[in-house]
Amino acid sequence: MNPLFFYLFVALIGTANCITCECSNCDTSTTCEITGSCYGVAIEHSLGSSPTTHTEMGCMPSSYCKDGSITVTVGKGIYMRSSTRCCTTNNCNTVPEVPKEDTAVSKVECPSCFGLYPASCEPTMMTCAQSENQCINITGANIVASSVQIPFLARGCASPSAANIQPLSGLISGNTVYMVHTISLKAPSNSAGLAPGSSTFAILLPSLIGISFTKFLS
C-alpha cells in the first residue's frame, strides 16, 4: 500500500478483543480483523482544480483511532475537511459525512496563503469561521511524479482538532502529493489575529509513529 493517505482523528478508544471490520481498501477481502478499532473516514479537499472526496473503511490500532472532525481553510476556496468514526464491535464501521462549510463568521483573523516556495506565499489577513478559531502554519513538499520535490507553505484558519494532523501525512491532488513536514497551531491573542511574521508558530508536532496509510486521496 502507498503511504500517502491523510488519517486525522481526535479521541482514543481502546479494546482488548479481536473484532472484524468492514474494509474498503483490503487487497483480497472486504473485511479485516484486529485487536483494536474499526474506522470509517471521509476527507474532502480543494487543492486541485475542483473539490475531491475520498472515503474509506478498515481496521486500526485503538491507540491511533481518534474520533471526530478536522477543518482547515488556507484561502478563499482552498480547504480540507475530514471526519472519522471509530467503533469496537464487529462490522460496526460506516463512512461518516464530511463536515459542512461553516458560514458563521468569527472575530478571529489569521494570516492566510497557499503557494509553492515559501517566498511566494504572501499572507493576507483572513477572517475565520467560528469553528476554525486557530491560526495554522504548514510547511511541506509538493512532490510531482514521486521524484521532484518543491517546498510549499500553507497558512490560515483551522479547528483546534487540526493539532492531530501528523507530519509525513499527505494529500494527493491529481499527480501531485502535498506531503506535510511541519505543522503548528496557535490561538490568536485577540481579534486582530497573528502578524504574518509572528514567532508564535513554534509548535512542532511529534513525528509520525505507526499510523496506517492507504492508497490515495483524490
Task: Tell me the domains of the chain and their CATH numbers.
Answer: 105-186 (2.10.60)
Residue with cell 472532525: 69
The pLDDT of residue 217: 29
- Of 85, 8, 101, which Cα lies nearest the Cα of 51? 101
Question: Is the CB of residue 6 less than 8 Å from the CB of residue 171?
Answer: yes
Half-sphere exposure of 189 (CA within 13 A, CB side): 6
Measured CA to CA, the distance from residue 185 to residue 188 in angstroms comes to: 10
Contacts of 84 (CB under 8 A, 6+ apart): 7, 8, 9, 10, 39, 40, 41, 65, 66, 67, 68, 69, 96
SS3 helix, strand, coil % of the chain, rounded to 5? 5, 45, 50
Q: How far apart are CA 27 and CA 4, in angstroms?
A: 16
b/e map of 95-115 (b: 16 or more CB within 10 Å)? bbebbeebeeebebbbbbbbb
Instruction: Show pLDDT as tens, one digit a residue, over the chain (218 residues).
Output: 333 333 333 333 333 479 999 999 888 899 999 999 999 999 999 876 678 888 999 999 988 888 899 999 999 889 999 999 999 999 999 999 999 999 999 999 999 999 888 777 889 999 999 999 999 999 998 887 667 888 989 999 999 999 888 777 777 777 778 888 999 998 876 544 433 333 222 222 222 222 222 322 22
Q: Are strands 18-22 and 31-35 parallel, antiparallel or unpaired?
A: antiparallel
Where are the alpha helices (H) located in the chain, listed in sequence order? none
